C-alpha cells in the first residue's frame, strides 16, 4: 500500500513538472471574422529561407547570420505560409502541399513564421 502511494505521488510530481507553464509555449488564440484560430509554438528558427535548418527550443540568434530567431507556429490553413513537420529537428522540412514528413512520417501541419 505504501509503495502504491509513493508511486502515485511520484507520478503526480512528474506530470506537473512536464506541463507547459511558459506563456510563450501555450496556444495563442486569435479571433478574425468570428472564427477562433489557435496557434501553438513549435520551435524558433531563422527567418531566412536558406537558414531554415537552424532551429531552437528557445529564442536567440541564428548561428549563421546572427538574425533574431522567430517563432514557427502551427496555424489555420487560411493563415499558413507552408506545411511543416512539427518536430523541431525537422524544421527544414517545408512544403506547399500537405503530406508526410519524409524523415519521421508525421503529418505535415499548416505553419507560419511569426515575424514581429
Return mean pLDDT, the chain.
Answer: 81
Residue 27 lies in a domain: no
Q: pLDDT-based confidence at 24, cuts 50/70/90? A: very low
pLDDT tens profile 56-112 = 999 999 999 999 999 999 999 999 999 999 999 999 999 999 999 999 999 999 999
pLDDT tens profile 29-72 = 544 444 445 899 999 999 999 999 999 999 999 999 999 999 99
Rounded distance, CA 90 to CA 25, Å?
18
Residue 23 lies in a domain: no
The boundaries of the domain holding residue 61 are 35-116
Confirm whether pTM is higher than 0.85: no
Residue 40 phi, psi (nearest 5):
-125, 130
pLDDT score of 38 = 86
Residue 25 lies in a domain: no
Residue 107 lies in a domain: yes
Amino acid at each position: 500500500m505504501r509503495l502504491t502511494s509513493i508511486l502515485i505521488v511520484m507520478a503526480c510530481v512528474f506530470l506537473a513538472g512536464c506541463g507547459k507553464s511558459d506563456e510563450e509555449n501555450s496556444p495563442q488564440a486569435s479571433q478574425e471574422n468570428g472564427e477562433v484560430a489557435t496557434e501553438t509554438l513549435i520551435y524558433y528558427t531563422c527567418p531566412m529561407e536558406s537558414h531554415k535548418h537552424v532551429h531552437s527550443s528557445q529564442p536567440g540568434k541564428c548561428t549563421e547570420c546572427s538574425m533574431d530567431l522567430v517563432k514557427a507556429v502551427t496555424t489555420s490553413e487560411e493563415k499558413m505560409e507552408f506545411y511543416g513537420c512539427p518536430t523541431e529537428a525537422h524544421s527544414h522540412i517545408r512544403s506547399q502541399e500537405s503530406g508526410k514528413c519524409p524523415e519521421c512520417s508525421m503529418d505535415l501541419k499548416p505553419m507560419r513564421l511569426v515575424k514581429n
